[in-house]
Amino acid sequence: MFFKAHCPSCGADVDFKSPASVMAVCSYCQTAVLKDADSVKDIGKMASVLEDYSPLQIGTTGLYQQQAFTLLGRIQLKYEDGLWNEWYALFDDGQEGWLSEASGQFVFTLPDGVAEDARPFEQLAPNSKYRLYAATDVRTARCTGGQGELPFKVGKGWQTQTADFRIKDNFLTLDYSDGFPPLRYVGKAVALEQLQCQLLRDTDTIQDSAGRFKGQTQALDCPSCGAAIQYSNQQFKHIVCPSCSANVELSEDKAIVIEKHRQVAALATSLSLGDVGKIDNIDYTLIGLLQAEELGEDAGAPWVEYLLYNATAGFLWLVESSEGWEKVTVLNEMPDNTSRDSISYQQKTWKKLWTYKARVTYAAGAFNWRVKVGDVTEITDYQAQPQKVSAEKTANEMTWSLAQKINAATVSQWFGKTVTAPATANTSGDKLGLFKVFAVVLWVINMPLIVFGSGSFILTIISTAILWFLAVGT
């Protein structure tokens, strides 16, 4: 049976639909109401959650593992460079669960007791092992807002320490919020379509509440240099001024400069902020772009990464480099590390190409995390032609993405503008491959002649050198 109470602050009805809920946030005045026996207590104001691009809302229903659930509440957690939502779900059979939502990706987890065999939080880092799982996210975050019902007492500023682990689409969280040993939650990465959700927010509602694209670019005056910044809507909390490279964070309706980047020249790119491309029959808007470079003596030319967004389909990346164009999607399923030199994904073996570090040298537009000039990421690339899987690792997080090569003509068709192949397109890999083929043929033909005295070892060496010069010297 539902428990109904009156808000101690404003008198409005506050419903407790779950017997496990110990607090609820009044939808009228944001008072955090604590349920204590048969009475309720006012434990202070709770900040409103920042409206974003989430299609979920209080009251959304769905199915997980053939069990019906309803979303009763959520908390919003913020870390240094971004935020995510944790939705509290109650199943029809009384079981509780959590639907985590971060950057358009979803994970459903259920309580699984206390992890007596876990390591202390301070000993964990991305790729740390717990049982058969590998850590993909280890961080400290604080609660910045909440709404609806929650199964524990939480308020603004409440801090949590969590470590997320994955194996394929299986997911495990160790929650150190209440100390050591941590609570354990297990579940799976899911697509929203799999949950068969009802009562989702529609596209217009999402865009209206988050700052709708109205056919014209919205603008915000940069607090640092005064230039207009495009895409100042509330869908994207972290914006980089394209004029002065100031890093701007949106807080409610105000823009606050939280860090000013070193001055950089405006970057000339093939695509521009605000460009709209029709990809797989979905209209994506280019909301952010960054330039990155490889660190080290043998580093090649820098490349540009374009962040695209659609209110329903979420995020997509395009990468333009000296190798050409790639369409990149972030994976919700973690590949298996079969050895130090390969991984297994989609029933294929992907061979390790190389590991390198990349640094952001320029950023402009809107992002779903706080990108900063100088950010360094360790990247490992694996390949199974014609695709590439990449692991990107920072101090707190490890993500996987899938890249598919595309030609410039396809990009031009998507965006309705002429996009050419990079003038500095690197064909050295193809030339080296041809060199190896011709060199092998050359030595296979000449070796018997050399052995039996009718061939010239010196001339064969000279011919090999000429092939090498043709491969790398032009």
pLDDT digits (tens, 9 = 90+) for 369-412: 778 888 999 999 999 888 999 999 998 999 999 999 999 999 99
Please tell me whether residues 158 and 16 are part of one structural domain.
yes
Please tell me whether residues 159 and 15 are part of one structural domain.
yes
Residue 84 lies in a domain: yes
> pLDDT of 84-106, one tens digit each?
899 999 999 999 999 999 877 89
Cα distances from 182 to residues 126, 197, 288, in angstroms, run 17, 31, 38
Please tell me whether residues 107 and 24 are part of one structural domain.
yes
- pLDDT tier at 355, thresholds 50, 70, 90: very high
What is the average per-residue pLDDT within 169-190?
Answer: 94
Please tell me whether residues 290 and 436 are part of one structural domain.
no
pTM higher than the cut 0.95: no
Place of tokens 């952001």: 360
Q: How many domains, the chain?
A: 3
> pLDDT of 195-234, one tens digit each?
999 999 887 777 666 543 333 345 667 777 777 776 544 4
Please tell me whether residues 459 and 406 are part of one structural domain.
no
Please tell me whether residues 71 and 97 are part of one structural domain.
yes
**Please, which residues have CB within 8 angstroms of residue 335's CB and are 6 or more apart in sequence?**
343, 344, 345, 350, 382, 389, 400
Residue 242 lies in a domain: no
- pLDDT tier at 428, thresholds 50, 70, 90: very low
* Chain center to CA of 448: 57
What is the average per-residue pLDDT within 151-162?
Answer: 80
Does the pLDDT at position 359 exceed 70? Answer: yes
Residue 227 lies in a domain: no
- Boundary (domain end) residue, out of 415, 446, 464: 415
pLDDT at 423: 43
What is the average per-residue pLDDT within 167-195?
Answer: 93
Residue 223 lies in a domain: no
Does the pLDDT at position 35 exceed 60? Answer: no
Residue 332 lies in a domain: yes
Residue 231 lies in a domain: no
pLDDT at 230: 62
pLDDT at 87: 96
Report residue 441: phi and psi, to 5°. -60, -45
Of 12-16, 359-363, 424-428, the poorest mean pLDDT is in: 424-428
Closest CA to 427 of 466, 358, 474: 474
Domain ranges, residue 283: 210-218+261-415
Q: CA–CA separation, 206 vs 213, rounded Å?
A: 11
Mean confidence (pLDDT) of the chain: 80
- The dihedral built from the CA positions of residue 240, 245, 249 and 250, taken in this order, carries a sign that is negative
> pLDDT of 319-346, one tens digit each?
999 889 999 999 988 898 778 899 999 8
H/E run at residue 151 = none
pLDDT at 337: 79
Please tell me whether residues 133 and 9 are part of one structural domain.
yes
Q: CA–CA separation, 287 vs 366, rounded Å?
A: 5
Does the pLDDT at position 182 exceed 80? Answer: yes
Residue 312 lies in a domain: yes
Residue 467 lies in a domain: yes
Measure CA of the first residue to CA of the last residue in the chain; give whole Å: 79
Number of Cβ atoms within 10 Å of the Cβ of 4: 10
Please tell me whether residues 442 and 401 are part of one structural domain.
no
Please tell me whether residues 329 and 378 are part of one structural domain.
yes
Please tell me whether residues 195 and 214 are part of one structural domain.
no
Please tell me whether residues 22 and 159 are part of one structural domain.
yes
What is the average per-residue pLDDT within 265-269?
Answer: 73
pLDDT at 125: 94
Please tell me whether residues 283 and 355 are part of one structural domain.
yes
Report residue 23: phi and psi, to 5°. -150, 160
Provide the token pair at 473.
Answer: 């010297």
Of 4-13, 321-330, 339-348, 353-362, the poorest mean pLDDT is in: 4-13
Of 219-233, 253-267, 301-315, the poorest mean pLDDT is in: 253-267
Helices 457-472 and 428-451: crossing angle in degrees, nearest 10, is: 180
Does the pLDDT at position 23 exceed 60? Answer: no
Contact 174, 187 (CB under 8 A): no
